[in-house]
Amino acid sequence: MISLEELKHLEDLSRLEFTDTAREKILKDINSMIDFASQIQNADCENKSFIKSMDMKDLREDEPKQGLSQEEVISNAPMKRKGCFAVPRIMD
Amino acid sequence: MIELGVIDIREKIFSGELTSEQITKAYVDEIKKSNINAVIEIFDDAIDTAKQMDERIKNGYRGKLAGVPILVKDNILIKGKHCSAGSLFLKDYIAEYTSTVAQKLIDEGAILLGRTNMDEFAMGSGTETSFYGKTLNPHDNSRVPGGSSGGSAAAVAANLCAAALGTDTGGSIRQPSSYCGVVGIKPAYGRVSRYGVIAFASSLDQVGPITKNVEDNALLLEILSGQDKNDETSENEPKVEYLKDYKNSISGLKVGVINSVEDMLKGLESEKNYNLAKQFLIDSGAEIVNLDINNMELVLPVYYIIAPAEATSNLARFDGVKYSRRSEKAKNIDEIYKFSRTEGFGDEVKRRIMLGNYVLSSGYFDAYYNKARSLQAKLRDEFLSAFKNCDIILMPTTKGEAYKLGSKTDPVDAYKEDIFTVSANITGLPSISIPFGSGSTGLPIGMQLLAPHFMEKRLYHLAKFIESNKEIK
């Protein structure tokens, strides 16, 4: 079970924000989800790695190639300036 | 003519009985008439492309999908077209490049007809969480079509296209295929490139075709499969003509059934269909092998740790800077992130991001994420050793018929929908759902087959056998 404080911390990590009313519902939902996920904790299982070890031959050559143009890359940006993503001033 | 499948349409076009323009127009009309909200956009160039295709065909062009209209799920990019993953966040996003899977369809002459509705960012089992509203089950409009590829499965079932593409992270192709009475495959992990497909959980996601019959499905997967230099997880497996040496016999085939799955099935609606399927296989000469696979009841919680963890990372890119949407209230960079995400994402997406951050955060990482990964490895080993004793595994796809719209209000209750489908994603195994009879109100129910990695050929052979020999009730 997580507390309201922990929920607010998760909101911060998630870059999300809930209203006080929405928070009540999400706290209940998240706790039932965590409860559901917690079933695995008693499972008897040694630590095992799922990731297969990588062979150097699996790596591709590091060759430069044509990607998307700068214009294409920023084409969906909500705000752009001089070919760059634009955001409000970060440093005063 | 709209009820025709991919191969039939192509053959009729080649023989001159039908033109691509005629069939494309017929589907466009049918989509406009339809009330199920399966298709969220008809591409305005579809009919013109079909006309040009008719010219090429007249001049001898013989692509494997020449002139055949196909719909794609709203998370598959096509350059210059909108693609939104069913989310308000990406409502105005226009793809800058074309996904490998869409390109492969285009290269074989397919007409890309439009995009289908889906649960937001593919998170859901009912196509009820889309920004574009719910999709209805074409067989019973008071029920869901399944999800997250509910628009694709419903569109195929309602004859709004010849076939459609879906994506499957935990059952999102197979479960709606079961609910809509169509054929859907989740290929082996690594079989199909995900380049240009909006990511949900990258270690689980696969693209696959949803079709009206098994042969169409095999043809489409043949076209979609193959290693792609733009997706490092795609494997260098040889292309297979899945039904090339099909024989109408399964005599001696060893079909595995999982004891714990049979326990879970007790009292569920699809138990009847499962038992009928088992009996049909025995009567057809197959040998049933009972399998013990431990921890099957934990596959669902394992999935609901790994998938949200990966989703949290994948959805971090939606920050209000790069992709189409920024909150108008935001005054500084922190507010851009926070407000844009809060306004742009729906409730289910927010819940999963939160859960993902929880299982990845310090203090919980080992107890949840690492433990889930260990269990995943163990489950995978268990399935691989099960395949030493059998050729293929039989399971139901769903617990029963499609559920009623709006009936899953508790998120965990909704997650339990995926009980039989997630193991194929967790293990990376290929798995197909094919229609097998109906439930208590006469709605379709699917059966699922699983095979060892890259043995989709076995799935198609048995699926074709069932389709050809079973009088589906």
What is the value of ipTM here, to two decimals? 0.91
Cβ-based neighbours of A18, under 8 Å, separated by 6 or more: A11, A26, B342, B350
Cα dist from B431 to B175, B182, B189, B257, whole Å:
11, 14, 10, 14
CA gap B138, B81 in Å, rounded: 27
pLDDT recorded at residue B473:
40
CA gap A27, A6 in Å, rounded: 10
pLDDT recorded at residue A5:
95
Digitized pLDDT (tens) for each residue of chain B, 473 residues in all: 999 999 999 999 999 999 999 999 999 999 999 999 999 999 999 999 999 999 999 999 999 999 999 999 999 999 999 999 999 999 999 999 999 999 999 999 999 999 999 999 999 999 999 999 999 999 999 999 999 999 999 999 999 999 999 999 999 999 999 999 999 999 999 999 999 999 999 999 999 999 999 999 999 999 999 999 999 999 999 989 999 999 999 999 999 999 999 999 999 999 999 999 999 999 999 999 999 999 999 999 999 999 999 999 999 999 999 998 999 999 999 999 999 999 999 999 999 999 999 999 988 999 999 999 999 999 999 999 999 999 999 999 999 999 999 999 898 998 999 999 999 999 999 999 999 999 999 999 999 999 999 999 999 999 999 999 987 44
Residue type, B43: F
A92 in any annotated domain = no
Domains defined for chain B, CATH in brackets: 6-224 (3.90.1300.10)
Nearest to B96 among A10, A48, A72 (CB): A72
Our answer to whether residue B371 is catalytic in this structure is no
Our answer to whether residue B148 is catalytic in this structure is yes
Cα Rg of chain B, angstroms:
21
Three-state DSSP class for residue B82: strand
A16 in any annotated domain = yes
How many domains in chain A? 1
A55 in any annotated domain = no
Number of CB pairs, chain A paired with chain B, less than 8 A apart: 137
A86 in any annotated domain = no
Nearest-Cα distance to chain B for A40, in Å, is 6
Interchain pair B338, A17: CB under 8 A: yes
Q: Which residue of A has its CA nearest to B233?
A: A58
Interchain pair B368, A37: CB under 8 A: yes
A89 in any annotated domain = no
Nearest to A78 among B325, B355, B357 (CB): B325
Residues of chain B found within 8 Å of residue A32, distances taken between Cβ atoms? 410-412
Cβ-based neighbours of B210, under 8 Å, separated by 6 or more: B149, B152, B153, B156, B163, B164, B165, B166, B173, B176, B177, B182, B183, B184, B217
Our answer to whether residue B270 is catalytic in this structure is no
pLDDT recorded at residue A51:
58
Interchain pair A26, B345: CB under 8 A: no
Among B84, B125, B148, B284, the one annotated catalytic: B148
pLDDT recorded at residue A54:
60
Residues of chain B found within 8 Å of residue A35, distances taken between Cβ atoms? 412
Residue B388: count other Cβ atoms within 10 Å of its Cβ.
Answer: 7
CA gap B345, A22 in Å, rounded: 14
Sign for the pseudo-dihedral over CA of B108, B113, B116, B122: positive
- For residue A33, the domain's CATH number is 1.10.20
- Look-up of token digits 């008809």: B42
Nearest-Cα distance to chain A for B397, in Å, is 22
Residues B215, B223: contact at Cβ < 8 Å? no
A84 in any annotated domain = no
A90 in any annotated domain = no
A54 in any annotated domain = no
- What residue numbers bound the domain in which A27 lies? 4-41
pLDDT recorded at residue B453:
97
Residue type, A66: Q
Task: Please give the average per-residue pLDDT across A16-36, as a whole number.
Answer: 95
Residues B452, B205: contact at Cβ < 8 Å? no
pLDDT digits (tens, 9 = 90+) for A32-73: 999 999 999 888 877 766 555 666 666 778 889 888 999 999
